[in-house]
Amino acid sequence: MQSIKVAVFALSVIVFFALFANSIPQIESRPPKEVALGADMTPQQLAAAGRQVMDTKGGCFTCHSIGSPGPRAPDLQGVGTRAATRKPGLNAEAYLRESLIEPCAYIVESYQCLMTPMNKPPVSLNDAEINAVIAFLESLGGEITVKPIAVSASSSSSTSQVTDAKTPPEILKAMACFGCHTISSVDFMTGKVGPDLSHISTVAATRKPGLSAKDYLRESILDPNAFIAPDCPDGPCKSPSLMPPIFGDRLTAKQLDMLVEFLAGLK
């Protein structure tokens, strides 16, 4: 009898712990998503993609911030300007590259060397991603001089291969559309660079005279610059388009059809 009482007591304690742990904020840690990169991106596209890399795989914002000094690492605001003056003989691009690959070669005053080489594990940015990040850093107060490069096919994190995604959400995920677009009915689609696509079918048919909704959607995926949408989350969409013109190479015909069908159904 006593043993049963003890068992009930022990069980209630365990249940209490489990309930307590479920009552606090619940966060999952997801592996970082790959960002789509192509050799034919414009500087602006490259910078936008670099910003995404920093948000996801780079994990830069655990330490850095932009526009307010962080406790752990320097504010990156204006780094595009000051990069040119950091080290004699190094221009902005070269300095930024060094600060990513050999972070402790130059240590910003009053900070410690905490950053690990970003091209090495665990972060392991590939060359294309490093260039994209440099483009974004340069855009913070400076001029973008770095050129995009294609992801080498040998790299394991390459996204240039066609994926085997089979459903529209899987395709949106595999192509990293979520980095830039929001679709309220798809939970991971929360990007804020390009237009909100939650109700895209209501405007798609009216965008370009003579193009049906589906034709317009197909065109805007294959050739984003053919028509620049009017409203992006941060004001009017920029021209040339920040959306990279690379999806034609990455989607199979079937996947493209599925995607267009899916978008055309978003009322």
Partner 1 sequence: MLSSDKQNWRPLVRAAFVIFFLLILFTDPALAQSPDPAYREFPLIGSRVALWLVAEVHLMFAAFMLGVPMFAVVVEMVGWRNKDARYDALAKEFVKLVVIAASTTAILGALLTFVLTVFYPKFFNYLANIFSPTFIIYPILFFGESFTLYLYYYGWDRMMEGAAKVGHIIIGIVLNIWGTILMFVANAWLTFAISPAGVDDQGNLVDLWAAITNPTWMPINVHRLIANVAFGGSIVAAYSAIKFLNSKNAEEKAHYDWMGYVGNFIAIIGLIPLPFAGYWLGREIYGFNQQMGITMMGGFLSWLWIIQALLIGILFLTANYYLWVGMGRISGGERYRRYIKYLAAILVVGWIVWATPHSIVASLEEARKIGQFHPLLGVLGVMSAKNTVVNLMILTTFISFLMYRRAGKEARGGGARRVKILQAIMVVSAASVVLFYGVYGYVDIFGLFGDPGSGTPAIIRIGFSVYQVAAVLAALFFVTLLDIFLFRRATTLGPMSWGQMPERSQYALVLLAVTFTWLMGLMGYARNAIRQDWHVFGILKDTSLDAYSPTLGFAAIVISVCVILFFGLIAFIFWLGELGEKKAKLTFPSSESKPAYEPAGSGGGK
Residue 94's φ and ψ, nearest 5 degrees, are -65, -40
CA distance 17 to 242: 48
**Residue 231 phi, psi dihedral angles, 5° rounding:** -115, 120
Residue from 89, 121, 210, 235 touching partner 1 (CB under 8 A): that is 121
Residue range at the interface with ligand HEC (CB under 6 A); choices 5-13, 19-27, 154-162, 216-224 = 216-224
Q: Which of residues 53-82 bind partner 1 (CB under 8 A)?
A: 59, 61-63, 71-72
**Cβ at position 154, least distance to ligand HEC in Å:** 22
Interaction of residue 13 with partner 1, rule CB under 8 A: yes
Asked whether position 29 contacts partner 1 by CB under 8 A, the answer is yes
Is 135 in contact with 46 (CB distance < 8 Å)? yes
Residue partners of 21: CB distance under 8 A and separation at least 6 = none
Q: 194 is in the binding site of which of ligand HEC, partner 1, none (Cβ under 5 to 8 A by kind)?
A: ligand HEC
Q: For tokens 């130059």, name the residue.
A: 106
Shortest Cβ distance from residue 177 to ligand HEC (Å)?
3
Q: Which residue is nearest to ligand HEC (CB)?
A: 194
223 within 8 A of 215, measured Cβ to Cβ = no
Other C-beta atoms lying within 10 Å of the C-beta of residue 172 = 21
Radius of gyration of the CA atoms of the chain, in A: 23
Cis geometry, peptide bond prior to residue 169 (ω within 30 degrees of 0): no
Residues 111-150 touching ligand HEC, rule: CB under 6 A, are 111-115, 118, 133, 137
Q: What, of partner 1, ligand HEC, none, does residue 15 touch, CB below 5 to 8 Å by kind?
A: partner 1
Distance, CA of 194 to CA of 68 (rounded, Å): 25
Residues that bind ligand HEC (CB under 6 A): 36, 48-49, 54, 58-60, 62-64, 72-74, 79, 82, 86, 96, 99-100, 103-104, 106-108, 111-115, 118, 133, 137, 175-177, 179-181, 193-195, 197, 200, 207, 217, 220-221, 224, 228-229, 232, 237, 241-244, 247, 259, 263
